[in-house]
Amino acid sequence: MPAASADSSATGRPTTRATTLPWGDQLRRIDVGGRSRSYLLHLPPGHDPAKPMPVVLIFHGAGMNAVMMMSLCGMNAKADQAGFVAVYPNGTGLGEVALTFNAWDGPDPLGRPPVDDVAFTAAILDDLGRSIAIDAKRVYATGLSNGGMMCYRLAAELSDRIAAIAPVAGTLAVARVQPTRPVPVIHFHGTADRIVPMAGVDRRARGALRFRSVDESVQTFVKLNGCPVEPRMVDLPDTADDGTTVKVQTWGPGKAGSQVVLVLIEGGGHTWPGRASPARFVGRSTRDISANDMIWDFFARHPIK
Radius of gyration of the chain, Cα coordinates, nearest whole angstrom: 18
Are 171 and 217 in contact by the 8 Å Cβ rule? The answer is yes
List, for residues 36-79, the tens digit of each pLDDT value: 999 999 999 987 878 999 999 999 999 999 999 999 999 999 99
C-alpha distances (whole Å) from 169 to each of 43, 108, 211, 253 are: 26, 20, 12, 24
Query: Is 205's pLDDT higher than 60?
Result: no
Each residue of 132-169: b (16+ CB within 10 Å) or e? bbbbbebbbbbbbbbbbbbbbbbbbbbbebbbbbbbbb
* Dihedral over alpha carbons 236, 240, 244, 246 (to 10 degrees): -10
pLDDT band at 110 (very low <50, low <70, confident <90, very high): low
- Looking at residue 265, what is its pLDDT? 98
* pLDDT band, residue 124 (cuts 50/70/90): very high
CATH 3.40.50.1820 matches 24-300:
yes
Average pLDDT on 236-250 reads 97
What are the backbone angles phi and psi of residue 149, rounded to the nearest 5°? -60, -35
Q: What is the model's pLDDT at position 103? A: 93
Q: Which of residues 275 and 98 earns the better pLDDT score?
A: 275
The predicted pLDDT at position 202 comes to 59
Predicted local confidence at residue 280, as pLDDT: 87
The pLDDT value given to residue 13: 38
Report yes or no: 179 and 156 within 8 Å, Cβ to Cβ.
yes
Q: Distance between CA 242 and CA 1 in Å, rounded?
A: 49
